[in-house]
């Protein structure tokens, strides 16, 4: 890092503004909270006093020239990126900006099938054509994995016209692909590499963690500062490598970004970036140690399996983010859903998620060992009180390579009709259908529905997997593209 | 000019309790909390943690006799005893008076509390050297998680459920205590106060969670002048013994222990609760 990372220009500009006691005859109308006493009492007057609009001393997010510009330069420096954008529309907006910048309508983008919904939604916006790569999954743990290099080489060879490849670094479950190799293959073939690092902010600040995308030479990375970075919900960063034109990306961002970006979010990014730059290593050492401690204690209870880097296989699990406290629960005869519910309903412990076979407890800088003891103690109690015979490993329907009939955008804008799932063979899906675990879409908008797909949906439902995404909450009906349009 | 130095604790946002201080003897911030010892004319020396009263030399006997002798007069043969918290030594002092006790394991999360007590509160921290006492500096929740069918009695002498004491008011803790106790084991705990709303909710929650883990869960009371409202509750949770019908009157009297607060009539009476307390306990069940 070359810049003075103790600086927080946006934060400082807000402090200065406050001290000047300027009389506001501009928006927002709550006028530093005075016009909304109930909200001011709830969120705090100091919070509302800096909920202000863009003005000369505070710069403008759409066209930064002063304090926001400096904050973006500091962020780029802290993350060792060529450029950084402060984002206020969640990491969803960062992902959208990546896809829209890399692909024009009709151009191909290579993606792992287990992308986040926001990526598929970005395809609807951009009109790009997805080319999916089978992420593989670990049957024993019910886990979707990363993309293997050989699979990517094959996909690029088959799609020489593809413009970009998107990689999860890591997945929600903490799994990393061999990004270094993927970047080298992609660049050799003229593809841009986009990294979805919604779960990867911390990778930039600790050598023991998996590699960060930008450090390996990725072209763009969407980084959820509000997850492991400690900023406010909905704030995010978009990082660029050296071969991307920031001016063009700014234009893309401005298509959908608010023209009154929240200074609460912007200052939270500013302060969090400083904190990460100065103390990131120390913070994530602590997180790694806490997670490691909890993992060992949980594994000593017996029955539970808290896994980590031992899963690494040099291909589909190239690396594992050890800050993710993933625990397989089948050994105590309970599904992850059940353990999730017990923890919340009986022990007042809220974890990130539970699926058919696993739970994820999210550990961060805000945790204390004391709280981890509660989690471990509760897991021991759940085992003592609710243990059943070991559950069989659910065998999921195999990966089905999607048959793409039209772009997600075309499908989205087509007229649709609702039919019974069983009657949809040969039709084109108008919606996305996700299955947890392993968290891979079974079908996405614009894809052909086969008998095999319907069978697998019925099967997944029968084993208690969670199916989401369709308009019909019970997934008995599905939206298809109307006959005459097709 | 005379110096006027007062210790003030806010019992609620609108109620203050103050003691005139002769001398501020000790102050240290540990990894977990801020520990202070003061000396005063009225209450003698007193220990505070994070600005909250833990004990005074003048009234600590009430708390310690109540939390120790009540279960000890019910369990027929308490040999192995686990004490959680209680770094001031008061509970250990009372327990060591029983010859039948073979082992006292004290689990205190904060070494500094024990150090400060040893140096400044010899009235309570006087029996740590008893050969039956084993001290573990550890989180109580973690310690008890790894124990099974080991103790006859567990005494939970915790701070309030904000800060490091939080884990000791949880269902996972009570469940793990149940597991650590033998088939006829008893757990007693500091159970907060029913008077001010600040502590009432914690009291109700603790009772609800203990009831979820133990077949017998009773509440008893004592008068503790330096705690908020002066009125304090204790929990008596048990796998087998009822605190009244299984009270071993003759046996306990036979120990010939001299006590300043506790006696067998008071034992029975302490389980007779005022109506508003009964109602608070019932409404949260």
Residues of A in contact with B139 (CB under 8 A): 369-370, 373
User: Which of A105, A155, A150 lies closest to A132 in space, CA to CA?
Assistant: A155
pLDDT computed for residue A355 by the predictor: 83
Largest CA distance in chain A: 69
Higher per-residue pLDDT: A391 or A148: A148
Give residue A30's region: left, alpha or beta (phi > 0; psi -120 to 50): alpha
User: What is the share, in percent, of chain A residues with pLDDT greater than 70?
Assistant: 98
Q: How far is CA A4 from CA A14, A163, A203, A273, A277, in A?
A: 19, 37, 21, 12, 10
Contact A376 B145 (CB under 8 A): yes
Q: Identify the helix (H) or strand (E) that includes residue B221.
A: strand B216-223
Residue carrying structure tokens 């298809």: A480
Q: What is the DSSP string of A295-359?
A: HHHHHHHSS-EE--GGG--SSTTSEE-TTEEEEE-GGGT--HHHHHHHHHHHH----SEE-SSEE
User: What is the share, in percent, of chain A residues with pLDDT greater than 90?
Assistant: 76
Residue of A nearest to B168 (CA): A374
- Residue range A280-286: average pLDDT? 96
d(CA B273, CA B65): 19
Task: Tell me which DSSP letter residue B161 carries.
Answer: S
User: Which of A174, A179, A276, A177 lies closest to A226 in space, CA to CA?
Assistant: A276
pLDDT computed for residue A439 by the predictor: 67
Looking at the fold, whether A20 and A80 belong to one and the same domain comes out as no
Residue carrying structure tokens 């509660």: A374
Residue A486, pLDDT > 50, answer no
Residues of B in contact with A367 (CB under 8 A): none
Looking at the fold, whether A46 and A85 belong to one and the same domain comes out as no
- A399 falls within a domain: no
**Helices marked H in B129-274 — which ranges?**
140-145, 171-180, 197-213, 249-254, 264-270
The answer for B 204-233 residues in CB contact with A (under 8 A) is: 212
**Which residues, including other chains, have CB under 8 Å from residue A414's CB and lie 6 or more apart?**
A406, A430, A481, A482, A485
Q: Identify the helix (H) or strand (E) that includes residue B81.
A: strand B80-85
Long-range contacts of A152-157 (CB under 8 A, 24+ apart): A152/A110, A152/A182, A152/A185, A152/A186, A153/A185, A155/A110, A155/A131, A156/A110, A156/A185, A156/A186, A156/A189, A156/A191
d(CA A3, CA A77): 7
Min CA distance, A385 vs chain B (Å)? 9
Residue of A nearest to B148 (CA): A384
Looking at the fold, whether A175 and A54 belong to one and the same domain comes out as no
Range of the domain at A349: 280-386
Q: For residue A466, give the CATH number of its domain.
A: 3.90.100.10
d(CA B17, CA B19): 7
**Which residues, including other chains, have CB under 8 Å from residue A312's CB and lie 6 or more apart?**
A318, A319, A320
Answer yes or no: are the C-beta atoms of B7 and B18 closer than 8 Å. Answer: yes
User: Which of B273, B223, B224, B206 lies closest to B244 in space, CA to CA?
Assistant: B273
d(CA A399, CA A441): 10
Dihedral sign (CA B18, B19, B20, B25): negative
Count the neighbouring beta carbons within 10 Å of the beta carbon of residue A111: 26
Q: Which of A278, A294, A316 is the last residue of a domain?
A: A278
Looking at the fold, whether A78 and A194 belong to one and the same domain comes out as yes
Backbone angles phi, psi at A336, to 5 degrees: -60, -35
- A402 falls within a domain: no
Q: For residue A116, give the CATH number of its domain.
A: 3.40.640.10
Contact A374 B142 (CB under 8 A): no
- A222 falls within a domain: yes
Residue A168, pLDDT > 90, answer yes
Instruction: Measure CA A362 to chain center.
Output: 14
Count the neighbouring beta carbons within 10 Å of the beta carbon of residue A215: 16
Kind of pairing, strands B80-85 and B103-108? parallel
CATH 3.40.50.150 for domain B60-283: yes
Looking at the fold, whether A171 and A68 belong to one and the same domain comes out as yes
Catalytic residue among B36, B157, B160, B246: B157
Taking chain B (285 residues) in runs of 10, the rounded mean pLDDT of each run is: 86 94 95 94 96 95 97 96 95 96 96 96 95 96 94 93 83 95 97 91 91 96 95 97 96 95 97 96 76
Q: What is the DSSP string of A126-166?
A: H-PEEEEE---EETTTTEE----HHHHHHHHHH-TT--EEE
Instruction: Choose among B166, B167, B176: nearest Cβ to A381.
Output: B176
Reported as a single tens digit per residue, the pLDDT across A433-482 is 887 766 678 888 999 999 988 988 888 788 777 788 888 888 889 999 98
Q: How far is CA B209 from CA A347, B99, B173, B220, in A?
A: 9, 33, 9, 16
Residue carrying structure tokens 């506001």: A24
Residues of B in contact with A381 (CB under 8 A): 171-172, 175-176, 179
User: Which of A31, A26, A66, A68 lies closest to A48 in space, CA to CA?
Assistant: A31
Q: Is B50 among the catalytic positions?
A: no
DSSP, collapsed to helix, strand or coil, labels residue A375 as: helix
Is any Cβ of chain A less than 8 angstroms from the Cβ of B143?
no
Interface residues of chain A, partner chain B, Cβ below 8 Å = 297, 346-348, 369-370, 373-374, 376-378, 380-381, 384-385
Domain ranges of chain B: 6-55, 60-283
- How far from each other are the two terminal CA atoms of chain B, in whole angstroms? 56
Q: Can you name the residues that pair with A396 across neighbouring β-strands? A: none
Looking at the fold, whether A153 and A130 belong to one and the same domain comes out as yes
Q: Identify the helix (H) or strand (E) that includes residue A291.
A: helix A263-301
d(CA A132, CA A441): 11
- A181 falls within a domain: yes
Contact B176 A377 (CB under 8 A): yes
Q: Which of A278, A301, A332 is the last residue of a domain?
A: A278
Contact A377 B164 (CB under 8 A): no
Min CA distance, A374 vs chain B (Å)? 6
Reported as a single tens digit per residue, the pLDDT across B164-197 is 788 888 999 999 999 999 999 999 999 999 999 8
Residues of B in contact with A384 (CB under 8 A): 175, 179
Looking at the fold, whether A247 and A318 belong to one and the same domain comes out as no
Contact B172 A385 (CB under 8 A): no
Chain A / chain B CB contacts < 8 angstroms: 48
**Which residues, including other chains, have CB under 8 Å from residue B190's CB and lie 6 or more apart?**
B67, B85, B156, B157, B158, B232, B234, B235
Min CA distance, A348 vs chain B (Å)? 9
Q: C-alpha angle with apex B28: B22 to B34, nearest 5 degrees?
A: 95
Count the neighbouring beta carbons within 10 Å of the beta carbon of residue B65: 20
Residue carrying structure tokens 């309790």: B17
DSSP helix, strand, coil percent of chain A (3-state; round to 5) = 40, 15, 40
Min CA distance, B137 vs chain A (Å)? 14
Min CA distance, A74 vs chain B (Å)? 34
pLDDT computed for residue B194 by the predictor: 94
User: Which of B155, B148, B159 lies closest to B81 in space, CA to CA?
Assistant: B155
pLDDT computed for residue A398 by the predictor: 65
User: Which of B211, B83, B65, B51 lies closest to B152 in space, CA to CA?
Assistant: B83
pLDDT computed for residue B1 by the predictor: 58
Residues of A in contact with B201 (CB under 8 A): none
Looking at the fold, whether A338 and A258 belong to one and the same domain comes out as no
From the candidates B145, B174, B202, which should be mutated to test the interface with A, based on the most A CB atoms within 10 A?
A: B145
- Residue range A282-305: average pLDDT? 96
Instruction: Choose among B145, B164, B212: nearest Cβ to A377.
Output: B145
pLDDT computed for residue A139 by the predictor: 80
Burial A367-383 (b: 16+ CB within 10 A, else e): beebbbbbbbbbbbbbb
Is any Cβ of chain A less than 8 angstroms from the Cβ of B171?
yes
- A435 falls within a domain: yes
Is any Cβ of chain A less than 8 angstroms from the Cβ of B164?
yes
Answer yes or no: are the C-beta atoms of A194 and A98 closer than 8 Å. Answer: yes
Instruction: Measure CA B141 to chain center.
Output: 16
Looking at the fold, whether A256 and A113 belong to one and the same domain comes out as yes
- Residue range A399-427: average pLDDT? 90
Higher per-residue pLDDT: A326 or A140: A326
Contact B175 A384 (CB under 8 A): yes
Task: Tell me which DSSP letter residue A212 carries.
Answer: P
Instruction: Choose among B139, B179, B212: nearest Cβ to A373.
Output: B139
Domain count, chain A: 4
Instruction: Choose among A297, A369, A374: nearest Cβ to B172.
Output: A374
Contact B170 A377 (CB under 8 A): yes
pLDDT-derived band at A416 (thresholds 50, 70, 90) equals very high
Residues of B in contact with A377 (CB under 8 A): 141-142, 145, 167, 170, 172-173, 175-176
d(CA A131, CA B89): 69
Looking at the fold, whether A197 and A228 belong to one and the same domain comes out as yes
Q: Which of A43, A58, A73 is the last residue of a domain?
A: A58
- A103 falls within a domain: yes
Instruction: Choose among A347, A348, A370: nearest Cβ to B164.
Output: A370
pLDDT computed for residue A482 by the predictor: 86
* Protein fold of B6-55: Spermidine Synthase; Chain: A, domain 2 (2.30.140)
Instruction: Choose among A347, A373, A376: nearest Cβ to B171.
Output: A347
Looking at the fold, whether A161 and A270 belong to one and the same domain comes out as yes
Looking at the fold, whether A140 and A268 belong to one and the same domain comes out as yes
Residue A220, pLDDT > 60, answer yes
What ipTM describes this predicted complex?
A: 0.83
Residue A51 burial class via C-beta count within 10 angstroms: exposed 0-12, middle 13-18, buried 19 and up: middle
Residue of B nearest to A377 (CA): B172
From the candidates A377, A384, A385, A386, which should be mutated to test the interface with B, based on the most B CB atoms within 10 A?
A: A377
Residue A403, pLDDT > 60, answer yes
- A486 falls within a domain: no
Reported as a single tens digit per residue, the pLDDT across A63-96 is 999 999 999 999 999 999 999 999 999 999 999 9
Residues of B in contact with A374 (CB under 8 A): 141, 166-167, 170, 172
Residue carrying structure tokens 């319907």: A454
**Helices marked H in A363-450 — which ranges?**
369-386, 408-413
pTM for the model: 0.87
- A358 falls within a domain: yes
């Amino acid at each position: 890092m070359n810049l003075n990372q103790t600086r927080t220009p946006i934060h400082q500009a807000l402090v200065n503004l406050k001290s000047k006691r300027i009389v506001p005859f501009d928006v927002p109308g709550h006028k530093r909270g005075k016009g909304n006493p109930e909200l001011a009492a709830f969120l705090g007057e100091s919070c509302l006093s800096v909920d202000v609009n863009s003005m000369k001393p505070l710069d403008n997010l759409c066209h930064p020239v002063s304090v926001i510009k400096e904050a973006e330069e500091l962020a780029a420096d802290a993350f060792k990126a060529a450029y950084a954008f402060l984002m206020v529309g969640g990491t969803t907006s960062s992902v959208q900006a990546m896809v829209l910048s890399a692909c024009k309508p009709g151009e191909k983008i290579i993606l792992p099938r287990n992308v986040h919904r926001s990526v598929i939604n970005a395809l609807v916006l951009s009109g790009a054509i997805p080319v999916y790569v089978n992420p593989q999954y670990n049957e024993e743990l019910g886990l979707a994995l990363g993309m293997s290099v050989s699979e990517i080489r094959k996909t690029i060879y088959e799609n020489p016209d593809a413009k970009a490849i998107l990689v999860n670094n890591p997945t929600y479950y903490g799994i990393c692909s061999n990004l270094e190799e993927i970047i080298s293959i992609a660049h050799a073939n003229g593809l841009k590499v986009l990294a979805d690092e919604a779960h990867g902010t911390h990778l930039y600040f600790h050598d023991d963690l998996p590699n960060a995308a930008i450090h390996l030479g990725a072209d763009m990375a969407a980084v959820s500062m509000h997850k492991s970075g400690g900023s406010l919900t909905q704030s995010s960063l978009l990082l660029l490598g050296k071969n991307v034109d920031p001016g063009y990306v700014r234009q893309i961002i401005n298509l959908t970004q608010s023209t009154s970006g929240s200074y609460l979010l912007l200052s939270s990014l500013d302060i969090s970036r400083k904190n990460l730059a100065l103390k990131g290593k120390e913070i994530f050492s602590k997180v790694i140690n806490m997670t490691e401690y909890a993992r060992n204690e949980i594994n000593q209870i017996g029955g539970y399996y808290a896994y980590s880097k031992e899963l690494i296989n040099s291909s589909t699990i190239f690396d594992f983010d050890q800050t993710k406290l993933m625990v397989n629960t089948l050994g105590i005869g309970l599904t992850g859903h059940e353990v999730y519910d017990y923890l919340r309903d009986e022990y007042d412990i809220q974890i990130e998620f539970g699926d058919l076979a696993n739970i994820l407890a999210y550990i961060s800088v805000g945790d204390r060992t004391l709280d981890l003891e509660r989690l471990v103690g509760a897991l021991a109690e759940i085992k003592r009180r609710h243990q059943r015979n070991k559950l069989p490993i659910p065998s999921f329907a195999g990966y089905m390579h999607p048959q793409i009939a039209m772009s997600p955008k075309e499908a989205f804008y087509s007229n649709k009709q609702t039919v019974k799932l069983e009657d949809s063979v040969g039709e084109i899906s108008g919606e996305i259908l996700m299955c947890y675990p392993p968290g891979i879409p079974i079908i996405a908008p614009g894809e052909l529905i086969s008998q095999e797909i319907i069978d697998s949906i019925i099967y997944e439902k029968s084993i208690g997997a969670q199916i989401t995404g369709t308009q019909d909450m019970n997934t008995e009906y599905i939206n298809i593209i109307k006959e005459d349009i097709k | 000019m005379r110096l006027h130095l007062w210790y003030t604790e806010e019992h609620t946002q609108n109620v203050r309790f103050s003691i005139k201080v002769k001398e501020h003897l000790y102050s240290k911030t540990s990894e977990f909390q801020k520990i202070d010892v003061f000396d005063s004319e009225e209450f003698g020396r007193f220990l505070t943690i994070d600005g909250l009263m833990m004990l005074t030399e003048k009234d600590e006997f009430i708390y310690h006799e109540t939390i120790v002798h009540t279960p000890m007069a019910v369990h027929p043969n308490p040999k192995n005893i686990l004490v959680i918290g209680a770094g001031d030594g008061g509970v250990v002092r009372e327990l060591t008076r029983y010859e039948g006790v073979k082992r006292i394991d004290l689990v205190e999360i904060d070494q500094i509390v024990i150090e400060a007590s040893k140096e400044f509160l010899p009235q309570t921290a006087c029996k740590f050297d008893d050969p039956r006492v084993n001290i573990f500096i550890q989180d109580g929740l973690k310690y008890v998680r790894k124990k099974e069918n080991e103790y006859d009695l567990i005494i939970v002498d915790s701070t309030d459920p904000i800060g490091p004491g939080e884990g000791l008011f949880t269902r996972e803790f009570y469940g793990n205590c149940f597991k650590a106790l033998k088939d006829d084991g008893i757990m007693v705990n500091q159970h907060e106060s029913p008077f001010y709303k600040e502590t009432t909710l914690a009291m109700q929650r603790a009772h609800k969670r203990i009831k979820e883990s133990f077949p017998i869960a009773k509440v008893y009371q004592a008068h503790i002048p330096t705690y908020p409202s002066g009125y304090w509750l204790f929990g008596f949770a048990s796998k087998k013994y009822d605190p009244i019908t299984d009270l071993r009157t003759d046996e306990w009297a036979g120990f010939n222990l001299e006590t300043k607060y506790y006696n067998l009539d008071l034992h029975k009476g302490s389980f007779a609760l005022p109506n508003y307390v009964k109602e608070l306990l019932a409404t949260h069940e």
